[in-house]
Amino acid sequence: MKKLLIVYYSYTGGTEQMAEAAAKAGQGEDGTDLRVMRAEDCQPEDMLAADGYIFATPENLAAIAGVMKAFFDRCYYPLLGQIEGRPYAAMICAGSDGENAKTQVERIATGWRLKKVIDTLIICTHAQTEEAILAQKTIGDDDLARCRELGATLSAGLAIGVF
């Protein structure tokens, strides 16, 4: 049985909805055991126990969220050289373009020598005012479908040994 780990952080609910959609779609795949963890709870041993990963983070101030950065900081060196070649995908819940957050996640994954198997998904909420940025988010059905597709694809690929 292959193990897929989804690590996420969410402050206003958007990224959590994205992670839940990916998890729900991925859980239906025979041959894959799926686990969802908040970034603040994930430890290096959780990463070592998984065969593939989905990282989901909001874009905060044109970067990944601080809690997600703390997860990467906590796990990076203990895992260096131990998870090379494992597949991953990433999802960004952005208020603007999300490109810098995407670059950050992908550079960290490159340092770990992970294998990006799906293009990083950026869902843009277009939140540009203080009120909109701090408001609870609702991700639309079309965007949630994209998250489900990402979760199902990575889970199925792990199960059949494509990745």
- pLDDT at residue 28 in the model: 76
Spatial separation of the C-alpha atoms in residues 16 and 66, rounded to whole Å: 16
136 contact partners, CB below 8 Å, separation of at least 6: 12, 13
* pLDDT(29) > 90: no
32-85 tens-digit pLDDT: 999 999 999 999 999 999 999 999 999 999 999 999 999 999 999 999 999 999
**Cβ 157 vs Cβ 32: under 8 Å:** no
> CA dihedral defined by 13, 110, 43, 150, rounded to 10 degrees?
40
DSSP β-bridge partners for residue 115: 87
106-121 tens-digit pLDDT: 999 999 999 999 999 9
| 3-class SS letters over the chain | CEEEEEEECCCCCHHHHHHHHHHHHHHCCCCEEEEEEECCCCCHHHHHCCCEEEEEEEEECCEECHHHHHHHHHHHHHHCCCCCCCEEEEEEEECCCCHHHHHHHHHHHHHCCCEECCCCEEEECCCCCHHHHHCCCCCCHHHHHHHHHHHHHHHHHHHHCCC
Q: Among 89, 22, 18, 4, which residue's Cα sits nearest to residue 58?
A: 18
134 confidence band (pLDDT: 50, 70, 90): very high
- pLDDT at residue 100 in the model: 97
DSSP H or E segment with residue 86: none
7 confidence band (pLDDT: 50, 70, 90): very high
